[in-house]
Amino acid sequence: MKSGQLQINELRNILNEHFHWHKARLDCFVSMLLALLAVNTVNLTQLAVSFPSRALISSRYRRMQRFFSEHWIDYDDVAWFIMRLFGFSDSDYYLSLDRTNWKWGKTDINLLVLAVVYRGAAIPVYWLPLNKRGNSNSRERIALLKRFIDQFGRDHIKGLLADREFIGDQWLGWLLEQKIPFTIRIRNNGYTT
């Protein structure tokens, strides 16, 4: 067996330990990951070209579309996979809260993202689509952090890092109640009491 196939089998086995998907579903996911590494984009049209298969490119494209349209993904499972993959489940870490937005055609994509800080990068663990333009509110931030705490507890959280848009009495009061240390950048004309 070629070393490339050994690596594919190893990746499939690792993912199967966490997700317990049907073999065909898991094979499709592994193929998408390999294509993603090859082309560095999430564009399905471009992924289809590098998708390891003898099928027609149009068939590969439809297979990926079916994966996303017909398969429910448990994001708690994804979060656990990420936490274990990077060894976060047994160590202390900082969380980072940020918002990202962009356009997909005419559609605005606006996500509130909770990530674990790892070697100077933020590894997304949970995200919340904001069905609006602009900033998140305290309720949305609290819900996202509660989801994380429900799965992983708060014992390993060294602190929460966030930008200046993540302020507000209710939000900061909740962090203080929960005894979650935080470092939030403030505007140069802001003040704290």
For residue 125, what pLDDT is reported? 95
Q: For residues 82 and 53, give the distance between their C-alpha atoms in angstroms, rounded to a whole number.
A: 27
pLDDT of residue 185: 81
Using CA atoms in the order 64, 69, 73, 78, what is the torsion angle rounded to 10 degrees?
A: 40
Specify the pLDDT at position 184. Answer: 86
What pLDDT, on the 0 to 100 scale, is given for residue 146? Answer: 97
Residues of the chain with pLDDT under 70: 1-4, 187-193
pLDDT for 101: 86
H/E segment holding residue 6:
helix 3-19
Q: Where would I find the H helices in 51-87?
A: 57-70, 75-85
Whole-angstrom Cα distance, residue 98 to residue 158?
A: 17
On whether the pTM is more than 0.95, the answer is no
> What structural domains does the chain harbor?
3-70 (no CATH), 75-184 (3.30.420.10)
